[in-house]
């Protein structure tokens, strides 16, 4: 099939590349000229495991092309995917200006029937708004389909190629037929394509992300309680997670959820609830608890140093909001750095992929190390904010020779307690004994 993908962020680029991989002819469009030129030259603008291979293969086989020319992209496309940003507006509600603007532009360009698919996370009712725009600006018939993405950064290619489910919000029989054909190669193992109305589909995405954010937050509070009660959160997690109704995944306590999705989506659902005079109490608490959890490591540090960390120096391992990404949006590490600086401490950081993104935020206010060992020089303690594999099994002998005091505050529970005691470290993690 001939497909246009509008927007080449994480979602658009993964979607476009993975759709080309099953033989579709995909044109990706973006208004960012430099980015498009980069991709035309074969350069991938994001770090996403596995994407590189598919990206180059499909470019070389001419199934994946890039342009800034929207007219060219939509001309022959049967299906037009919109993968555009929906950042939180000033009032917390998702800002729809990119989506609605693109819909208007497309409406002016098309000359025959199109399926317009919305991949972005959008408030309930957006498909109706997009349909209304097409009705206003063109006489050409279109079907607007809500098709939320469930891609996790770091495993996005796998999530697209082998989805747990594909959700399609449309009541058009024709659109259902075409979309079923398009997604058939991805659901060969029997994972379902779930058809529903547009509004239910739009809400499904918010409900899924908000539920996962709630699950993590619940576990973070259990972890905090474990510390007070002398219980071990690892044991509690396994004991709970073995119940199939609860499930093992997304029960890992830490320093709060971050990223470009959970914080934004929870906030947007709360906002939508408020607008509909529904007080979504659980989600409001989730937001509140997560705010506190992001700096819980700093609270522990301040307590350890007798309420005064002014003049102290701290090393941080991990900046990205999770491993296998360079994305630092809403990353707990940013809040930790800020809190340490606000309390008069100095900071050195190391992350395998996120350094450049953090440099553009903190500039020369902090030090940027070249590896996970040199970052420890002169540090009074090490704080761990992201569970990169490379941090899991460090050379402790090398570490101990560099770090002034053997003090670690671990926000991701990377090490066994017994081992840390044996190595002579003060090791403060989440929901476990000291
Ligand atoms: C999330 C969802 O998992 C995807 O299904 C969804 O498509 C995506 O948002 C989106 O809306 O686009 P992502 O933001 O890439 O994906 O990251 P996750 O792997 O879900 O992690 C989110 C946050 O939760 C991270 O900060 C992570 O450290 C934290 N987390 C996750 C925990 O603290 N504990 C866990 O057990 C799991």
pLDDT in tens, 145-171: 999 999 998 899 999 999 999 999 999
Distance CA 188, CA 51 (A): 21
CATH number, residue 284: 1.10.1040.10
- pLDDT category at 91 given cuts 50, 70, 90 is confident
User: Cα of 80 to ligand 1 centre, how many Å?
Assistant: 27
Residue ending a domain, choose from 274, 292, 310: 292
Per-residue pLDDT at 419 exceeds 90 = yes
Residue 41 forms part of a structural domain: yes
Q: Are residues 344 and 388 in the same domain?
A: yes
Residue 90 is predicted with a pLDDT of 79
Instruction: Say if residue 311 is in the same domain as residue 169.
Output: no
Q: What percent of the chain has pLDDT over 90?
A: 94
- Residue 420 in any domain: the answer is yes
pLDDT at 88: 81
> Quick one: 43 and 133 in the same domain?
yes
Q: Give the residue, by CA position, lying nearest to ligand 1 atom 25.
A: 257
pLDDT at 327: 92
Q: Ligand 1 centroid vs 311 CA: distance in angstroms? A: 35
| Residue 433 domain flag | no
Nearest-atom number in ligand 1 for the CA of 121 is: 11
Residue nearest to atom 24 of ligand 1 (CA): 257
> For a pocket test of ligand 1, which of 12, 209, 329, 391 has the largest count of ligand atoms closer than 8 A to its C-beta?
209
Q: Which of 163, 196, 229 is the C-terminal boundary of a domain?
A: 196
- Band (pLDDT 50/70/90 cuts) for residue 402 is very high
The reply to whether ipTM tops 0.90 is yes
Are residues 213 and 119 part of one domain? Answer: no
Is 372 in the same domain as 394? yes
138 belongs to a structural domain = yes
* Residues carrying an active site annotation: 261
What is the predicted pLDDT for the residue at 93?
Answer: 76
386 Cα to the center of ligand 1, angstroms: 13
Q: Which of 140, 166, 196 is the last residue of a domain?
A: 196
Mean pLDDT of 351-364: 97
Residues 222 and 134 in one domain: no
> Is 434 a member of any domain?
no
DSSP-assigned beta bridge partners for residue 144: 116
- List the CATH number of the domain containing 52: 3.40.50.720
pLDDT, tens only, 289-304: 999 999 999 999 999 9
Atom of ligand 1 nearest to the CA of 151: 7
pLDDT digits (tens, 9 = 90+) for 234-286: 999 999 999 999 999 999 999 999 998 999 999 999 999 999 999 999 999 99
> Taking the model in full, what pTM does it have?
0.94
- 51 within a domain of the structure (yes/no): yes
Domain shared by 327 and 407, yes or no: yes
Residue 210 structural domain: 205-292
Q: How many domains does the chain have?
A: 3
Q: Which residues are annotated as a binding site for NAD(+)?
A: 30, 35, 86, 121, 153, 264, 329
What residues are designated binding site for substrate?
150-153, 205, 250-254, 258, 322
> Which residues approach ligand 1 with their CB closer than 6 A?
121, 149-153, 209, 212, 216, 250-252, 254, 257-259, 261-262, 321-322
17: pLDDT confidence band, cut at 50, 70 and 90?
A: very high
Based on the fold, state whether residues 275 and 302 are members of the same structural domain: no
User: What whole-number distance in Å separates Cα of residue 225 and Cα of residue 223?
Assistant: 5
Give the atom of ligand 1 at the shortest distance from the alpha carbon of 216.
34
Q: Long-range CB contacts (< 8 A, 24+ apart) of 87-92? A: 87/264, 88/264, 88/267, 88/268, 91/271, 92/267, 92/268, 92/270, 92/271
Of all protein residues, whose CA lies closest to atom 34 belonging to ligand 1? Answer: 252
Shared domain for 124 and 34, answered yes or no, is: yes
Give the pLDDT band (50/70/90) at residue 287.
Answer: very high
- Cβ burial of 245 (10 Å; 0-12, 13-18, 19+) is exposed
Largest CA distance in the chain: 74
Ligand 1 centroid – CA 284 distance (Å):
18
- Burial of 139 (C-beta count, 10 Å sphere; 0-12/13-18/19+): exposed
What's the pLDDT at 40?
97
Q: Is residue 352 part of a domain?
A: yes
- Do 188 and 210 lie in one domain? The reply is no
Residues 24, 169, single domain; the answer is yes
Are residues 42 and 169 part of one domain?
A: yes
pLDDT at 390: 97
Query: Mean of the pLDDT values across residues 218-237?
Result: 98
Can you say which residues are annotated as belonging to the binding site?
A: 30, 35, 86, 121, 150-153, 205, 250-254, 258, 264, 322, 329
């Amino acid at each position: 099939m001939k497909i246009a993908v509008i927007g080449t962020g994480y979602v658009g680029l993964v979607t476009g590349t993975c759709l080309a991989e099953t033989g579709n002819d995909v044109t990706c469009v973006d208004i960012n000229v430099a980015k498009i030129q980069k991709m035309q030259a074969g350069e991938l603008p994001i770090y996403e495991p596995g994407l590189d291979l598919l990206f180059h293969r499909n470019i070389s086989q001419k199934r994946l092309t890039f342009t800034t020319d929207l007219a060219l992209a939509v001309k022959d496309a049967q299906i037009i995917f919109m993968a555009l940003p929906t950042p939180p507006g000033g009032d917390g509600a998702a800002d729809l200006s990119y989506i609605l603007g693109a819909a208007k532009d497309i409406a002016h360009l098309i000359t025959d029937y199109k399926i317009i698919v919305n991949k972005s996370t959008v408030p309930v009712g957006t498909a109706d708004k997009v349909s209304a725009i097409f009705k206003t600006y063109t006489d050409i018939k279109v079907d607007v389909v809500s098709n939320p993405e469930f891609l996790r950064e770091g495993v996005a290619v796998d999530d697209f190629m082998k989805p747990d489910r594909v959700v399609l919000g449309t009541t058009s029989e024709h659109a259902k037929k075409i979309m079923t054909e398009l997604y058939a190669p991805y659901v060969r193992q029997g994972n379902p394509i779930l058809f529903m109305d547009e509004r239910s589909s739009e809400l499904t995405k918010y409900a899924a992300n908000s539920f996962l954010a709630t699950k993590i937050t619940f576990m973070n509070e259990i972890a905090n309680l474990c510390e007070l009660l002398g219980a071990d959160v690892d044991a509690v997690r396994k004991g709970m997670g073995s119940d199939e109704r609860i499930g093992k995944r997304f029960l890992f306590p830490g320093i709060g959820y971050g990223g470009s999705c959970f914080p934004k989506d929870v906030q947007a659902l709360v906002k939508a609830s408020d607008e509909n005079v529904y007080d979504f109490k659980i989600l409001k608490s989730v937001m509140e608890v997560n705010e506190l959890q992001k700096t819980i490591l700093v609270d522990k540090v301040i307590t350890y140093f007798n309420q005064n960390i002014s003049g102290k120096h701290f090393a941080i391992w991990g900046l990205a909001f999770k491993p296998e990404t360079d994305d630092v949006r809403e990353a707990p590490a940013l809040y930790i750095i800020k809190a340490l600086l606000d309390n008069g401490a100095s900071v050195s950081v190391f992350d395998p992929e996120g350094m450049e993104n953090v440099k553009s935020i903190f500039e020369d206010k902090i030090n940027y190390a070249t590896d996970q060992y040199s970052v420890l020089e002169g540090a009074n303690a090490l704080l761990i904010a992201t569970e990169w594999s490379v941090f899991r099994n460090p050379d402790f002998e090398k570490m101990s020779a560099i770090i002034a005091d053997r003090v670690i505050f671990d926000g991701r529970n990377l090490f066994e307690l017994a081992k840390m005691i044996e190595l002579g470290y003060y090791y403060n993690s989440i929901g476990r004994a000291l």
